[in-house]
Amino acid sequence: MNLPLNNNYIPKEISWLSFNERVLQEADNNTNPLIERIKFLGIYSNNLDEFFRVRVATLKRLEGFEDKGEELLGYSPTETLTEINRIVLRQRSYYESIYQRLLTDMEAESIFFRNEKQLTEEQEKFVCRYFHDNLRPILMPFFIRKETRISSLKDDAIYFAITIVPIKESKKNRYALMQIPSDRLPRFIKLPSEENSIEYIFLDDVIRSGLKELFFIMNVKEITAHTVKVTKDAELDIVDDISESYLEKVSRSLDQRKKGTPVRFLYDRSIPVELLTILTEKLKFVKQDGMIPGGRYHNLKDFIRFPDPGVKRFRFKPLPPLQHHDIERGSSILSKIRKKDILLFFPYHSFDVFIDLLREASLDPSVTDIHITLYRVGRDSSVVHALTNAVKNGKRVTAAIELQARFDEQANIHWSNKLHEEGVKVIYGVPGLKVHAKLCLITRVKEDKVQRYACVGTGNFNEDTSRIYSDHLLLTADTKITNEVAKSFSFLAKNYKRPAFYHLIISPYYTRNAIYRLINNEIKNAGEGKKAAISIKLNNLVDPGVIERLYAASRAGVEVRLMVRAMFSVVTGIGAISDNIRATGIVDRFLEHSRILIFHNGGNSRVYITSGDFMTRNLERRVEVACPVFDPDLKQELTDIFNIQWSDNVKARVLDPQLKNNYSEGYSELQGFTEPKGDRVTGSISKQETTSEPEGKFEIRGITETGEIVETEGNKELPKNGEVRSQYAIYEYLKKKTL
């Protein structure tokens, strides 16, 4: 496809698909425990659903603007959609081959999937009872007639497209649709089985076993069911109606989302042609328009919640959260913060520290106020409970809740109502801007002296995600930061006042220029013959302006190291443009979510943690905060962590212009960047297309708890020197600090 900016920019949608392929590689990597590989299949599917609901839906909207859409995007929406369809179909083939290999690997461990035609007599009786007790009362099929509107099919749900063949050949086939209630019942049901095996059946197949009973009123010769799924545009349209409150606008937009335009149609490739034609005509789909053929089962994101067979080696070995070396159990966290800044790194440290801090603040008689931003919170949020408890203890609590946190809008409306009912002052931030900053401010007044304590982070105040997302949280009483965090909350409450900031970098008003200045300073130092270096770790890096500045830094001789998990539009290794830029991305057991910015600054490094990525939306349409780290020990800690991850040669991939997703051989300041030696770890789509089963693929490789790669020879383990699995190495690095 044609890339914009003289091939110096990879469309973010295409780079995202490359990221999701890295997730798929983890499902294909048999050094990962068996159930974790199954979960990676589910994560891939869940990611792809959201991609179509958001990214593809946006491209389709822009496509409708014709030339204006290309001008807004910077490249052709139509060509990008065509390329997306091609890549997704190719990945689908890879996905299905992994799925079949996983079934084989599961069978080798005596874990079996059975369909409705493979059951023993005892299992048939169990399935019949399950159908009668759990499914028959809630299954509601409806016939497809000429006047039937199927645009009302639920987004994110799966349906059976049912073909009913009558006994009389003179009668035509009838067709029906029926939702599979996987939102109400488990998708995977454990069957009675022999003692040494574990057997499951899909909920889909339990329903198939009882279809004739559902349609008993008809004289049926044969009845078949094929799975289909519709994905819809999930973007919210917030109409500017001054007669409605912001909460009412978001609530109404959520109702409209249910009627969103279909952007993808998944179907069982064995579905009868006549039925497929009827469905696609009613949905107004054409072949090239997001139609994805697949296998017997869809919505395999349910693999994320695959039942635990109870075998320890099928899961990642636990990494118990570490006690932070500056915080003693049962001691005052506020007093510790007064003495020195503290940097928490989840999930290596426990999120309970933050809950304990809120509890202490709610009980401390000198604390008067607590302010916090909430973007996504836990299902049964301890943060919310701590805030409401603080109100009961007489504290003034203010929560800035972002109602437009995508796919968490309904939950946030619920929590905003609950907080309001409990006496918390709820504010909804800045009109037209999402509040994505992660801030908490505790104000303490003692003997007329105001003391402030700030928490500034890279991730949400969410105890659920803190167990699987890696994020930093800085706890500080430094007035340079706390006073400006207080200004940030004043801005959220009174948007017409735009305060000046001298330390925090705040979007949408200051971040772009501040980042440009930091990069330009490195360019200046390089021009003066000084060492110049930039190290950036983000989730996404796609903003054209920032990318052009990084290209300028590369041309000036600045060493640029980029570690980006997902969307990445930089084209590395272009002579005279980006030959000083290297980039990797890590996919492992924890989702890499922390954001770190390190600028060499002539040897006096400037180090930041930030809530926002380098995307145009984060720079210009969101409230984000990048926070400087002043403490020399913490600056060194963040630099060490970056360097450990930069040295990863087990789970890091090289981000190259060809999107090969080859595994990195690692990079360090001493050895430089080493390109991968072929497909060390195969699993890229290109490899799958050339050979069905690569030789020597993972069979002899394993990983110790500390991240060291070992080769096995029978029961003998031989350590292989020099290999780094960074998430385990970070755990060991932080563990040593506790000793």
Q: Give the active site residues.
A: 436
Q: What DSSP character marks residue 603? A: G
> Tokens standing for 467?
């167990």
Q: Which residues of 13-43 are buried (b: 16+ CB within 10 A; e: fewer)?
A: bbbbbbbbbbbbbbbbbbbbbbbbbbbbbbb
Burial class (CB in 10 A: 0-12, 13-18, 19+), 120: middle
Cα dist from 198 to 53, 279, 287, 316, whole Å? 36, 37, 40, 20
Continuous H helices in 595-631: 616-620
Contact assessment for residue 193 and residue 127, using Cβ atoms and an 8 Å cutoff: no
- Spatial distance between the Cα atoms of 584 and 630, rounded to a whole number of angstroms: 27
Closest by CA position to 568, among listed 20, 12, 75: 12
Q: What does 171-218 look like in DSSP terms, one character per residue? A: SPPEEEEEE--TTTS-SEEEEP--TT-EEEEEHHHHHHHTHHHHTTTS
- Spatial distance between the Cα atoms of 348 and 562, rounded to a whole number of angstroms: 23
> For 112-115, which contacts have Cβ atoms below 8 Å and span 24 or more sequence positions?
112/193, 112/197, 112/198, 112/199, 112/200, 113/199, 113/200, 113/201, 113/202, 114/191, 114/199, 114/200, 114/201, 114/205, 115/201, 115/202, 115/205, 115/208
Q: Kindly provide the residue ranges of all beta strands, DSSP E only, lying in 447-546, ordered along the sequence.
A: 449-457, 469-476, 505-507, 533-538
- Spatial distance between the Cα atoms of 344 and 361, rounded to a whole number of angstroms: 18
Q: What residue type is 575 in one-letter code?
A: G
Cα dist from 342 to 207, 331, 425, 631, whole Å? 54, 14, 28, 9
- In angstroms, how far is CA 139 from the centroid of its own chain? 33
Contact assessment for residue 59 and residue 81, using Cβ atoms and an 8 Å cutoff: yes
Contact assessment for residue 733 and residue 653, using Cβ atoms and an 8 Å cutoff: no
> Tokens standing for 614?
């380098």
- Spatial distance between the Cα atoms of 81 and 636, rounded to a whole number of angstroms: 44
- Spatial distance between the Cα atoms of 35 and 310, rounded to a whole number of angstroms: 10
Cα dist from 268 to 165, 208, 298, 301, 471, whole Å? 19, 15, 8, 16, 40
- Spatial distance between the Cα atoms of 401 and 425, rounded to a whole number of angstroms: 10
- Spatial distance between the Cα atoms of 292 and 342, rounded to a whole number of angstroms: 49
Question: How long is the chain?
Answer: 739
- Spatial distance between the Cα atoms of 596 and 626, rounded to a whole number of angstroms: 9
- In angstroms, how far is CA 64 from the centroid of its own chain? 28
